[in-house]
Amino acid sequence: MSFVEYGDTIKDGDTAIVFLGHESMFPVKVQHGTVTQTKYGVIRHSTDLIGKKYGSKVTCSKGGWVFILHPTPELWTMNLPHRTQILYSTDISIITMMLELKPGSIVCESGTGSGSLSHALIRTVAPTGHLYTVEFHQQRAEKAREEFREHGVEHLVTVTNQDVCKSGFGVSNIADAVFLDIPSPWEAIGHAKSALKAEGGRICSFSPCIEQVQRTCLVMEEYGFTEINTLEILLRMYNVRTISLQIPDLGKAAEDNSSAGFDSSNPSNQGSPCTNLQQGTVQFKSGVPLREMVGHTGYLTFATKS
């Protein structure tokens, strides 16, 4: 099993996603002799998972059923254990596009955190690219290194435990892109410039506060970065549902139709809007925004090394 290469069959040691519904899923490490409890009953790894195909419908001990999905960076973002605040698919998608990442790209990242963005970057640059990720916190760095090994992507990533603001990324003049998600990104701009290739490399900094953005942009200008721009993504979800609306009282227009000899029993008049006047309401499908919307997550600042 690998997060960048699809495998048909569930094997001992794999990470799989147990799918109970769109709003209910969780990751599980498949191990011989282990059981997993769900609200639908027990899943026995030895008999219910190992050897089955990904995507299989598995019946639990209480008669309910779940699907077992192959892990992807998108599913991992939704289900990973949070060691820090993470980036979600909305921000990740614009980051990979604006950094112009592709298979074979070399990327530097700080900090690693819970590895949400890291998995997406690895999948984007595979099979010939590489991610150099730096994490200041030792335990988080060790846990990230362990997860990458379990997920079959350790050959595509190098995890370093150090302070990027003092020691940099450990590479020079090879990166196609640099991503910063640290409290004081302006202190790492110089190291980011050193890590980027000679010309044309891209940088992105994620910050939750506009004061951090202002200071970072000033330092980017001092180091000669160009095309500096900042954006913010706000995602608004819609539900498609059936809406019932009362038909308005058309007043004099309805009376005029009646006086003109309008006959609702006449087939030629069937389907006329006036035939709905007796019903009182009309139903139709509409997109309705959710009552609450996830607002500000952070600002994304992009620039190019000239």
What distance in Å separates the CA atoms of residue 39 and residue 274, rounded to the nearest whole number?
A: 52
What distance in Å separates the CA atoms of residue 182 and residue 135, rounded to the nearest whole number?
A: 10
116 is in an annotated binding site: yes
61 is in an annotated binding site: no
249 is in an annotated binding site: no
Contact 207, 240 (CB under 8 A): no
Contact 98, 167 (CB under 8 A): no
Amino acid at 90: T
184 is in an annotated binding site: no
Contact 68, 38 (CB under 8 A): no
181 is in an annotated binding site: yes
Q: Which tokens go with 23?
A: 């709003």
Contact 213, 301 (CB under 8 A): yes
Contact 238, 287 (CB under 8 A): yes
114 is in an annotated binding site: yes
Q: Which tokens go with 207?
A: 């910050």
115 is in an annotated binding site: yes
What distance in Å separates the CA atoms of residue 44 and residue 136, rounded to the nearest whole number?
A: 39
- Binding residues, as ranges, are 114-117, 135, 163, 181
- Binding residues for S-adenosyl-L-methionine, as ranges, are 114-117, 135, 163, 181
